[in-house]
Structure 1
């Protein structure tokens, strides 16, 4: 399992202001680290209760060059905060270590753009250099792997996969999908996975879908195509609303946790290798508990 939606939980349940939706500044204060620990603790308890492993994601989705600069962080400060994020989760992992409870520390890489539109486009040749500094920091840390979340176009995803391959770090690639089941760039999910595997010699460890409700992407998973076997993770939204509707909403839509759990159970019958189950926007520990209950 993974955790649910960190950002939406901090905003709606902890009433914490997140400039540019960045989570990593919380690592710089004792109060912020305590807030992050409170967020992760219920998920670690769920992992122990249901006897499943957990992937612990660093709060570094915005800790890259462009977003860091908006928040006043230069390269050295960004590198340090990425290292701090891994250290924070590694310490949490050791506190919760139990026999038979695998805990994986995962260095999270976010997109250069906002994660919901195909802006800030880079070529597959430019993207490795842009994302390499963050990958290199994670390589030199206690992180076990890296994941690139909310990617909106395939060239940036290819670049991250190349940077991780060159650094010899396992990488998972996760695409944002719209209500039509396509990437924000308009490319189909199957085409994106096939293109990536062809260009990178299938270097990503696996692929994931994030930031969309299963209702939006269930139809594109029908048919039994070969690329479906490359999808190992789902981190769905709680709400069935589109990204623009969620942005305009005044209240957090948490959807129906039990319905979401049942949909995950159905997805496991469609995706033969689906083993990483978690949440994205609007989800919390209730959703992850419902997913565990439905799937186990």
Structure 2
């Protein structure tokens, strides 16, 4: 019996393109937890993902909105005097309390910020460093990172291609953590949950 858990889909891209929310130049979405309007929209996006996990009774791991909130970036930002990482964890903990019947299946992960500019080859990590620093994520475009870099339009491929590919990874490679990245939203995560739970050889954590 294969087990799996969900993670959320895109956060930053949805804030920018779906909600047109300006992001802090240094720590990006992490700053929104200190803004009433921003935190409300951030909460809405996370709650969409939690609602999916709740409706399918699946464990979900939410990642803090700290992809660009490295120590270096926090220190140079206007939020340098705040405990940004801790505050982002507490932000998600507060959201979890809204789901008393499901909160034991809502985990919180600290998302580590990228090292420098992930698309600038001059700042690229060596192979062994990169292996330790990064993880595999699902993007809705099959284009290369070079083609996606600095692209002003969101690049996506066929909805079913992404979902089918992830189900294949789960079934054939025993992937246990399924979620999304740039270009995905609650629709992708719901279809992923539906397809994954439909598999008779699958159990949830």
Please give the alpha-carbon distance, in whole angstroms, between the structure 2 residues aligned to 1:9 and 1:109. 19
Q: Paired residue for 2:155?
A: 253
Q: Paired residue for 2:60?
A: 54
Please give the alpha-carbon distance, in whole angstroms, between the structure 2 residues aligned to 1:244 and 1:121. 13
Q: Show CA shifts across 1:52-103 (max 9, x none).
A: 11101111112213222453443x43xx111110111001111113158600
Please give the alpha-carbon distance, in whole angstroms, between the structure 1 residues aligned to 2:69 and 2:131. 17
Q: Is the 8 A contact 1:257 1:290 kept in 2?
A: no
Q: Look up the SS of the partner of 1:48 in the other structure.
A: helix
The alignment's TM-score, normalised by the length of structure 2, stands at 0.82
Please give the alpha-carbon distance, in whole angstroms, between the structure 2 residues aligned to 1:110 and 1:100. 26
Q: Paired residue for 1:11?
A: 16
Q: Paired residue for 1:178?
A: none
Q: Deviation of residue 117 (structure 1)?
A: 4.5
Say which of 179, 182, 188 aligns to 1:278: 179
Q: Look up the SS of the partner of 1:108 in the other structure.
A: coil
Are residues 1:109 and 2:112 paired? yes
Please give the alpha-carbon distance, in whole angstroms, between the structure 2 residues aligned to 1:252 and 1:258. 17
What runs of 5+ residues in structure 1 fail to find an aligned partner? Answer: 123-151, 159-172, 176-208, 211-235
Q: Paired residue for 1:38?
A: 44
Please give the alpha-carbon distance, in whole angstroms, between the structure 1 residues aligned to 2:113 and 2:102. 32
Identify the structure with bigger relative contact order (alpha carbons < 8 Å, sequence gap 6+): 2
The alignment's TM-score, normalised by the length of structure 1, stands at 0.58
Q: Show CA shifts across 1:122-162 (max 9, x none).
A: 7xxxxxxxxxxxxxxxxxxxxxxxxxxxxx7432664xxxx
Q: Look up the SS of the partner of 2:178 in the other structure.
A: strand
Matched length: 191
C-alpha distance 282-121 of structure 1, shift in aligned 2 (>3 A): closer
Q: Is the 8 A contact 1:51 1:101 kept in 2?
A: no
Q: Deviation of residue 295 (structure 1)?
A: 2.0
Are residues 1:84 and 2:90 paired? no
Q: Is the 8 A contact 2:61 2:106 kept in 1?
A: yes
What runs of 5+ residues in structure 2 fail to find an aligned partner? Answer: 1-5, 198-205
Q: Is the 8 A contact 1:8 1:282 kept in 2?
A: yes
Q: Paired residue for 2:203?
A: none
Q: Is the 8 A contact 1:57 1:107 kept in 2?
A: yes
Q: Look up the SS of the partner of 2:101 in the other structure.
A: coil
Q: Is the 8 A contact 2:27 2:66 kept in 1?
A: no
Q: Paired residue for 1:170?
A: none
Mapping 1:70-81, distance limit 5 Å: 70-74=76-80, 76-77=81-82, 80-81=83-84
